[in-house]
Amino acid sequence: MIGTGILKGLAETARNFFLSYVSKDRLTTVQYPEQRLPQIEAARNFPFLVYDGAEWDAGMRCVACQICEKECPPKCIFIEKSKDKKPDAVGKPQFYPARFDIDISVCMSCQICVEVCPFDAIKMDVEFDLPTDDRFAGLMLDRHKLSKSNEYYHEIHPTEATAVDTALDAERAKAAAAKAAAAAPKPASPAATAASAASTPKPTEGESK
Amino acid sequence: MIVAAVNAGSVDQVFVLAKHALLARTPDALQPLASAIISIIPLLVVFPSLFAITTVLERKGLGRMQNRLGPNRVGPFGLLQPAADGIKALIKEDVVPAAADQLVHFFAPVIFVAAAFVAYAVLPIGRNMVLVNLNAGVLFFFAVGSVVELSVFMAGWSSRSKYSLLGAMRAIAQMISYEVPLVLASVPAIMQAGSLSTVDIVNAQAGYTGIWPHWYLFTPWGIVGFGLFLIAATAESNRSPFDLPEGESEIIAGYFIEYSGFKFALFFLAEYLGMFATSALGITLFLGGWSAPLGISLFTVVPSYIWFFAKLLGFICFFIWIRGTLPRLRMDQLMGFAWKFILPMALLNIFVTGLWRFLPASPLNSIRWIVCAAVLAAPCVVLSMSLKQKKKLLIRTYHFAE
Amino acid sequence: MTATFLILAAITVAGTAAAMGLRNAVHCVLALTAGFAGLAGLYLYLGAQFVGFTQIMVYVGAVAILAVFAVMMTHNPGEPEEIFSRFWVWGAVIAGAVFLTLARAIRLAFAPADATPATPAPSTTVQQIGDALMHRYVLPLEIIGLLLTAALIGAVIIAMDPKDDPTLEEDAE
Amino acid sequence: MTPLEGCLLLSALLFAIGLAGTVTRRNAILVLIGIELMLNAANLNFIALWRYGPHPEALTGIMFTIFSIAVAAAEAAVGLALILAAYRHFRTTNLDRMNRLKG
């Protein structure tokens, strides 16, 4: 018959209209600022820095290698290497970022920084609710604002975080074993680490200038 | 019964009496001016308020049809949303494109809104409540409606933007194509009433057989005419499914994309005012204007203007319902529908109205009914079958449309 | 000679003069609609309601739109921008002479003494017009209907490009 | 000046404006519009003479104007269609450049 399709459609919308007042589970949307849907595990938005332990300053995994800064397509990462060194997750003395800023107004959420990070220090966050009344300084996140604990990482991406932790633990165990093995011939090991640490920063510094 | 009628009369005429009382206090020299102002101001207040109510109603209704809540943040149940929108439109910057034709760009929304308001002059919104009872009222309405096309062109052309121009071209093509069936669909009612005056047309539909009103809707040509009028009115007011001129997903907002702030709001207002005006004309022509739908004292007691606005609200809800249901047409479907289906049907409808008038009414009313309905139904079925697309489409499944 | 008449006459003359004098053809057509609207107002002022509304409907709603479409379809950006013909002086002189002749004839026809008494506007209802159309003028009406149909078909056929798809249609009133 | 005289003078002026446009403009569309203006000037005459004439009840002026508007609409449609066809041929609407017969 003519027009049955239209009538069917009208009946459907009418049913939606009235039943949406009756059954609450028809309402597919939530009242956003108060209610939030749980994020799916693969969700990603802007990068953050992972730290281990309780203190963000001490446990930061980032060693300021500046690979992410170089790889970042829109160039939204700004890193300043520290002058001194701190022991990293494995226990090796490393540089740390004296300054680590991400301009999230520029960031395009491509996740390349995460892919290239050899230290599993930068990961993607699920936080998308970042409104601010200052569109320049407010969207320039410094290293304090960026750093989130490993527990938080487990919370938002459990599978991924477990895999990362397993890998890190394996590495730590390897490093501990190596340390134990190297404990006997004492003078060799610090000299080697110092030499490797001294050789790496030079080219990067030259490039960053 | 008589007491009730008298009471109803006084409530019914309260605005008319108030106007006369006010006029009696003004000096004689100022009376024509005062009379005009007193009559115009309510129109200028009531219909924009109706527009404000309709915007929130539309957004909430559409939301519910899509299993959403709709606006619910500003005020209780989001009812103050139009106020927030209005303030936003007022304080927004008024951007005029640098290449725009300044004068034409400025006058387009002004003419649009003016034309939309002027159309209300001939619409009777209650018993004795019409601004001017023009002898050629319906013609006036359509003449004013044709000015809208020009303002649409002015808006689209003066913006110097391809989206605007495309939107304007689409809008004009659509409005011209659907103005013809709109006028032709109104002709039967005019023929039957024997007058172009809106007041006379309403009066011709007054009265009841038993409790059944003499609306033109309850005749075979009235049903068809009303249906065609409704379709053409939807297209004429650029509403979904005929919203190609605006087509948010393709040409963003059509001819008024380069307008911002208050001018944009004016276009929005004028579109809705045009929709109300066309609906009001449909009510006047086919639904007996302000008369009560059933001739029982419970209904006739209710003041006439309340019936008018109830019918108008019904129209608005129907338009919202349609908008929530039907997807947008394609341009060739739109034009084909206007010229291949609506136009022939409207012409046939005029013929049937003539037939209705000249067939004897008194002894064989049901035979007259059947003959006219058959003359209309057969070509309608044939036309729609021949225009139907013979495409096999896959069945789509929805989450809640089981 | 009331103020209403003068205002309407001013709108009409200004609109039509602008329509004939402006550079941009679209502006010309828009100014022309203002002139036609003023003319419609004059018809209303003279008591010819039906004709006034018909004027708006036909000229503003149809002819102006048609002209605007034609202007836009024939716009040639590379063309030299000369809006008046080489002999525009002669044209202006002829038009001026025609106006002066007509004006003089009109002035002479009305002697200052015979001021016609102001008659009330004749009340013409649409019903009377319809009766006249259907009885006395039924043959012209039929001829006009035929003419309009012929013009519609003719306009479509003339404007149709033979190279284009013959299913293309144009709206012509 | 009587109202009738004012109307007739206005109509003469409109006719002169239309004539001036018709003979001076280069754009064919505007020439057509000039012709429309002259027709309208005539219509104004009909209405004015009907209004102030001796037999307004005869409706002659109104009838003539209605028919005239109908003819003018047909003329505009056909005229613009002709201009479009000519444009397709000459690639211009400039009448000074449409100067060849047998095109």
- Which pLDDT score is estimated for D41? 92
CATH of domain A47-171: 3.30.70.3270
* Strand order, beta sheet including A97-103: A77-81, A97-103, A140-141
Nearest-neighbour CA in chain A from B36: distance (Å): 43
Q: Is the Cβ of D75 closer than 8 Å to some Cβ of chain C?
A: yes
Q: Is the Cβ of C56 closer than 8 Å to some Cβ of chain B?
A: yes
Domain coordinates of chain C in residue numbers? 1-75, 123-173
Give per-10-residue mean pLDDT for chain C (173 aa).
85 90 86 91 86 88 86 73 77 88 85 59 76 87 90 85 55 42
- Which pLDDT score is estimated for C25? 84
- Which pLDDT score is estimated for C12? 92
* pTM: predicted TM-score of the whole model, two decimal places: 0.80
**Domain annotation covers residue B58:** no
Q: Do B196 and C61 touch (CB under 8 A)?
A: no
Q: Do D84 and C173 touch (CB under 8 A)?
A: no
Give ipTM to 2 decimals.
0.74
Residue D25: closest C-alpha in chain C? C84
Question: C22 by DSSP, 3-state: which?
Answer: coil
If you write DSSP's letter for every residue of C39-77 in order, what string do you get?
HHHHHHHTT-HHHHHHHIIIIIIIIHHHHHHHHHHT--T
Nearest-neighbour CA in chain C from B187: distance (Å): 13
| Ramachandran assignment for C62, one of left (phi > 0), alpha (psi -120 to 50 degrees), beta (any other) | alpha
Query: Could you give the CA distance from residue A136 to residue A46 in angstroms, rounded to a whole number?
Result: 17
- Which pLDDT score is estimated for C115? 55
What is the 8-class DSSP label of residue A200?
A: T
Residue closest to C10 by CA, chosen among B66, B396, B236, D10: D10
Q: Name beta bridge partners: B208.
A: B213
Query: Could you give the CA distance from residue A101 to residue A121 in angstroms, rounded to a whole number?
Result: 14
Q: Is the Cβ of C85 closer than 8 Å to some Cβ of chain D?
A: yes
- Residue B236 near residue B270 (C-beta atoms within 8 A): no
User: How many domains is chain B built from?
Assistant: 1
D15-74 tens-digit pLDDT: 999 999 888 888 888 889 999 999 999 999 988 888 887 777 778 888 889 899 989 988
Per-residue model confidence as pLDDT tens for chain B (402 residues): 344 444 556 777 777 778 878 888 878 778 888 888 888 888 888 888 899 889 888 888 888 888 888 888 887 888 888 888 888 888 888 888 888 888 888 888 999 999 989 888 888 888 878 888 888 888 899 988 888 888 888 888 888 888 888 888 888 888 888 888 899 999 998 888 888 888 888 888 887 777 778 888 888 888 888 989 999 999 888 887 888 777 666 666 778 888 888 888 888 888 899 999 999 999 998 888 888 887 777 777 788 888 888 999 999 999 999 888 888 888 888 888 888 888 888 988 898 888 888 877 766 777 777 877 887 888 888 887 777 766 666 777 776 655
Out of B68, B321, B400, name the one closest to residue A10 (CB): B321
If you write DSSP's letter for every residue of C74-119 in order, what string do you get?
T--TTS----B-TTHHHHHHHHHHHHHHHHHHHHHHS-SS-----P
Query: Could you give the CA distance from residue B131 to residue B125 in angstroms, rounded to a whole number?
Result: 9
CATH class of D3-97: mainly alpha
What integer best gives the mean pLDDT of chain A? 80
What is the 8-class DSSP label of residue A90?
A: T
Q: Could you give the angle at the alpha carbon of B256 between the alpha carbons of D81 and C78, nearest 5°?
A: 45
What is the 8-class DSSP label of residue B135?
A: T
Q: Do C171 and B173 touch (CB under 8 A)?
A: yes
Q: Which helix (H) or strand (E) holds B38?
A: helix B31-65
> Which range marks the domain in which residue B110 is found?
89-387
Query: Could you give the CA distance from residue A88 to residue A175 in angstroms, rounded to a whole number?
Result: 12
Omega before B241 cis (within 30°)? yes
A147-206 tens-digit pLDDT: 888 888 888 888 888 888 888 888 888 888 887 887 765 554 454 444 444 444 444 443
Q: Is the Cβ of C70 closer than 8 Å to some Cβ of chain B?
A: no
Report yes or no on chains A and D touching (3+ CB pairs under 8 A).
Answer: no
Query: Comparing A1-5, A76-80, A106-110, which segment has the lowest mean pLDDT?
Result: A1-5
Nearest-neighbour CA in chain B from A49: distance (Å): 36
CATH of domain C1-75: 1.20.120.1200
- Residue A60 near residue A97 (C-beta atoms within 8 A): yes
